[in-house]
Structure 1
Amino acid sequence: MGILEDKENARLFYKYLSKVYDRINPFIWNAEMRDEALKELDIDPTDRVLDVGCGTGFATEGLLRYSQDIHGLDQSIHQMEKAFSKFGRTDDVKFYRGDAERLPFADNSFDVIWSSGSIEYWPNPVDALCEFRRVVKPGNRVLVVGPDYPDSWIFQQLADAIMLFYDETEAQEMFETAGFVDIEHHVQQAYPGTPQAITTIARAPTADDTVDTPSQQQVSDPAAAPTTD
């Protein structure tokens, strides 16, 4: 686990990064990449949308072009204060301070879930994705943007020491384990030579979908089922 996958370390990190975040972020995740990803979601103007790890509101700003029912959640009050200055606390966006792994919302309460630049700090990303599946309505979609695993061995070692980096295979496994279906991945890059982002879009299953998560496969396998004396 990378040093910034510890929640206390991440909060401390963003206490200082929040001061320059909006100037640094475009070199890795810029407006063009955000807007390209937004088009994939087909957000309806009446959709209730949750932005998990909303930070300073960079993605939130884009989401507001599609719906006026936007909700932002983040664990860093320092990042959120930047967002408050842009949107107010309860005006254009409803903000909540909270944890992606324990979302403070009822089941099936959102039409769309978006999360960019946040998964890399989650100690248990599958737990958070299970929460996404719980609070998004069945049949609806979620989108998650995270850092693509680098090709260079040296950068891989550095990446692993800092936070979560993952490739398409790992993304597929995480989303399948969380029970999502119709999973697709897109790799994006701001400029040649800059870190790549991996954008995953997936759909929460309905009663008509067959979902085989690893846990379900284990239960359905008689050889793996627990026995009693």
Structure 2
Amino acid sequence: MGVLENKARARLFYKYLSKVYDQVNPFIWDEEMRAEALSMVDIERDDRVLDVGCGTGFATEGLLEHTDDVHGLDQSVHQMEKAFEKFGKHDKVKFYRGDAERLPFKDDTFDVVWSSGSIEYWPNPVDALVEFRRVVKPGNQVLVVGPDDPKSTVFQKLADAIMLFYDEEEAQQMFEEAGFVDIEHRVLQRQPGSPRAIVTVARAPDE
């Protein structure tokens, strides 16, 4: 388990990162990459969408271009305070402080579940994906963006010591273990040499 896959350490990390997150994030995950990921999932204007690990709201902004019913959840109050500055606490987005592995929602609550830049901090990613399958409506989609596994052995060992990095094969295994079907992966990169993101879209089985 990587250093930041410990929830307490991850919260402390984001307490300080939240101050510069919106300035740093575009070098890794920018609007063009977000738009391509959004094109992979079907979101209707009246869909209820959950953004797990919403952070400062970068993905939330993109989701609001597709639906007016967005719910953001994060374990870091410092990250969420930045999101409150953008959207208000109870205006455009409904916010919740919570854990991806124990979502505070009833079964079949959401039309789409989205998560970007969060899975790498989950100690038990399959448990969280099972929660995603529980709260999304049967037959509907979830989308998860995480860091693609570095190809260099040295960087791979360093990366794994910090947080979860994974490739398409590992993503496939996690989503299958969580009970999803129609699983698709796409690797995105801002520019050659920059970190790669792996986007996985999957569907909850029909009842």
1:123 equivalent in structure 2: 123
- Conservation of the 8 A alpha-carbon contact between 2:42 and 2:141: no
SS at match of 2:110: coil
Q: Check the 8 A contact 2:138/2:204 in 1, yes or no.
A: yes
Question: Who is 2:6 aligned against?
Answer: 6
Offset of residue 148 of structure 1: 0.2
Contact residue 68 and residue 92 of structure 1 kept, 8 A: yes
- In structure 2, runs of 5+ residues without a counterpart are none
1:144-223 alignment to 2 at 5 Å? 144-207=144-207
User: Residue 200 of structure 1 aligns to a residue in which SS?
Assistant: strand
Aligned-partner Cα distance in 1 for 2:120–2:154: 19
Amino acid corresponding to residue 99 of structure 2 in structure 1? D
Larger Rg: 1
Return the letter of the residue paired with 1:193. G
- Alpha-carbon separation, structure 2, partners of 1:56 and 1:195: 20
Residue type of the alignment partner of 1:164: L
Question: Contact between 2:50 and 2:112, CA under 8 Å: does it hold in 1?
Answer: yes
SS of corresponding position for 1:140:
strand
Structural mapping, 1:105-120, within 5 Å: 105-120=105-120
Q: Distance in 1 between matches of 2:195 and 2:166?
A: 12
TM superposition shift of 1:40:
1.3
Q: Aligned residue for 2:102?
A: 102
Listed one character per residue, the Cα deviations across residues 142-184 of structure 1 (whole Å, up to 9, x for unaligned) are: 0000000000011001101000000000000000000000000
SS at match of 1:111: strand
Provide the rounded CA distance (Å) in 2 between the counterparts of 1:188 and 1:66: 21
Length-normalised TM-score, structure 1: 0.90
Matched residue of 2:134: which SS?
Answer: helix
Q: CA RMSD in A?
A: 0.4
Assess if the C-alpha contact under 8 Å between 2:149 and 2:165 holds in 1.
yes
**Separation of aligned partners in 2, 1:75 and 1:90:** 18
Partners of 1:115 and 1:173 in 2: CA distance: 18
Counterpart residue identity of residue 40, structure 1:
M
- Distance in 2 (alpha carbons) for counterparts of 1:168 and 1:39: 19
User: Can you list the C-alpha shifts for 1:180-222, whole angstroms capped at 9, x where unaligned?
Assistant: 0000000000111011000000000013xxxxxxxxxxxxxxx
Count residues in correspondence.
Answer: 207
For 1:76, the equivalent position in structure 2 comes to 76
Q: Which runs of 5 or more residues in structure 1 are unaligned?
A: 208-229
1:60 corresponds in structure 2 to 60
Distance 2:5 2:189 in 1: 23
Q: 1:78-99 deviations in whole A, cap 9, x for unaligned?
A: 0000000000001000000000
The answer on whether the counterparts of 1:27 and 1:191 sit within 8 Å (CA) in structure 2 is no
Per the alignment, residue 88 of structure 2 pairs with 88
One-letter identity of the residue aligned with 2:45: P
Shift in Å at residue 39 of structure 1?
Answer: 1.3
Aligned-partner Cα distance in 1 for 2:164–2:149: 9
* Alignment-derived partner of residue 29 in structure 1: 29
CA distance in 1, matches of 2:46, 2:17: 34
2-structure distance, mates of 1:112, 1:16:
30
Distance 1:191 1:79 in 2: 26
Aligned 8 A contact 1:139 1:205 in 2: yes
Partners of 1:159 and 1:165 within 8 A in 2: yes
